[in-house]
Amino acid sequence: MEKNRLQRVLHRLGFNSTTYAETILTISLNNEKNAAPVGFKLFRGLLKARIYANTKTYNMVNAGAKEFVVNITRDPRLFFYAIFNKEAIRYVHSKTVSAPRIMGCNAYIEGDLDHIIRRKGYIMIYIRPRLIDYKKLMPTTYNRAGPAIIEAIVYYTKIRYYMNIGELNRALDMYNRVKYCRDTVYHSTTKRSLRELIDKIVFLIEKTLPKTPN
């Protein structure tokens, strides 16, 4: 796929330079693979993301992983699995990179590591897209439950980072936002599986925090 068309498709998929697009990044190195929720912005034709220290993705990039797949989905279960139940993820082979795709996503961006910028507590990775595959789907109506669960998972990853660097107040602020996400899920759906997902996220956060607000 030629460069200009790649950029047009990235914009159509919702990527831009001002707002993080929430995805699931897959990576592999020496027969080991990993999936993790990662938000991306566009930067001069590249996809850039912040990868926090003390995560498997961070360690694999530092160890030499250079090929990635950005998996695009609105299914909150896949985001949940990427954090809490990695064994439930079903992988399929990619077309041009060693990193696998996650089965059941709506689009896949295969790419190479262009460069890294190192910061205290995290790295910024810049991925150069090589290939984009996407499905042409019938538009669907919007509901708040799935996005609220995905948002809660993003907050969970930030809680772990803030706990690692000793910023408890910021971790507690993220926890309060997760509780708001739970309220959103309960107000917008009666589907048991979605309510169980958000309850599990809250439960695991409460186990992690040394104390919780009243």
Q: Do 175 and 148 contact (CB within 8 A), yes or no?
A: no
Cα gap 109→38, rounded to integer Å: 13
Q: Do 73 and 102 contact (CB within 8 A), yes or no?
A: yes
Residue 5: pLDDT band by 50, 70, 90 thresholds?
A: confident
**Coil, helix or strand for 124?**
strand
Which one has a higher pLDDT value, 3 or 186? 186
In degrees rounded to 5, what are phi and psi of residue 113?
-70, 120
Q: Which bin fits 184, alpha (ψ -120 to 50), beta or left (φ > 0)?
A: alpha
* pLDDT(140) > 80: no
- When the pLDDT of each residue in the chain is averaged and rounded to a whole number, the result is 93
Inter-helix orientation angle 192-208/168-188, to 10°: 170
pLDDT for 139 equals 64
Q: Do 208 and 164 contact (CB within 8 A), yes or no?
A: no
Residues 6 or more apart whose CB falls under 8 angstroms from that of 114 comprise: 46, 126, 127, 128
Residue 111 CB coordination number (10 Å): 23
Which one has a higher pLDDT value, 140 or 35? 35
pLDDT for 155 equals 96
* pLDDT(210) > 90: no
pLDDT for 213 equals 46
Break the chain into its structural domains and give their ranges: 3-134, 145-208
Domain 3-134 class in CATH: mainly beta
